[in-house]
Amino acid sequence: MPDKAKDAKTGREEGWLRTIGSKIWYFFNSLKLTLFVLISLAVLSIFGTVVEQNAPVEQYLTQYGEKWTSWIMYTRLNDMYHAWWFLAFLAALALNIIVCTFERFPPKWKSLLVHIPEKFDPAIIDRFSHRETVSLNAGSDAVRDRLLKVLKKKKYGVSESGTKGDYYFYAWKGRVGRLGSDFTHISLLLILAGAIVGSYAGYKDFFAVNVGGTVSVPQAEFKLRLDKFWIEYYDSGQVKQYKSTLTVLEDGKDVLEKQIWVNEPLDYKGIKFYQSSYGQSWNRIQEAQIAVKHKGKEALGETITVKWGETAKVPGTRYSVKLAGYTGDFAYDEATNQVFSKSAEAVNPAIRVEVFDGDKEIATPWLFVKYPGIFPAIPNADEDLVFTGYVPVMYSGISVNKDPGTNIVWLGTSVMGFGFILAFFVYHRRLWVHVRETGKSTEVKIGGTINKNTLVLEKELKDITESLTSD
Look at residue 184 and give its three-state secondary structure. Answer: helix
pTM over cut 0.85: no
Give yes or no: residues 401 and 275 share one domain.
yes
Give yes or no: residues 293 and 389 share one domain.
yes
C-alpha distances in angstroms, 254 versus 43, 114, 435, 460, 463?
47, 62, 78, 65, 68
**Is 389 contained in some domain?**
yes
Specify the number of domains making up the chain.
4
Domain enclosing residue 28, as ranges: 2-106
> What's residue 37's pLDDT?
86
**Is 162 contained in some domain?**
yes
Question: What backbone phi and psi angles, to 5 degrees, belong to 17?
Answer: -65, -40
> What's residue 35's pLDDT?
87
Give yes or no: residues 197 and 265 share one domain.
yes
pLDDT tens for each residue of 383-431: 899 999 999 988 899 999 998 888 899 999 999 999 999 989 999 999 9
Give yes or no: residues 390 and 286 share one domain.
yes
pLDDT in tens, the chain (471 residues): 455 555 554 555 555 556 777 788 788 888 888 889 889 888 888 888 888 877 778 778 878 888 888 898 888 888 888 888 888 888 888 888 888 888 887 777 776 765 655 678 888 999 999 999 999 998 889 999 999 999 999 999 998 888 888 899 999 999 888 888 889 989 989 988 888 888 788 888 888 898 888 999 988 889 999 999 999 999 888 989 999 999 999 998 999 999 999 889 999 998 999 998 888 888 889 999 999 988 878 788 889 999 999 999 998 888 999 999 999 999 988 888 889 888 878 889 999 999 999 889 999 999 999 988 888 888 888 889 999 999 998 889 999 999 888 889 999 999 999 999 998 999 999 999 999 988 888 999 999 999 888 999 999 999 999 999 886
Give yes or no: residues 260 and 290 share one domain.
no
Question: 249 has which bridge partners?
Answer: 223, 254
**Is 179 contained in some domain?**
no
CA angle 365, 370, 373 (to 5 degrees): 45
Give yes or no: residues 276 and 405 share one domain.
yes
Nearest Cα to Cα of residue 148 among 468, 469, 470: 468
Of 58, 87, 106, the residue at which a domain comes to its end is 106
pLDDT tens for each residue of 129-180: 999 999 999 888 999 999 999 999 999 999 888 888 889 999 999 988 888 8
Give yes or no: residues 204 and 142 share one domain.
no
**Is 456 contained in some domain?**
yes
Residue 96's region, left for phi above 0, alpha for psi from -120 to 50, else beta, is alpha
C-alpha distances in angstroms, 178 versus 109, 112, 120, 175, 190?
9, 8, 25, 6, 20
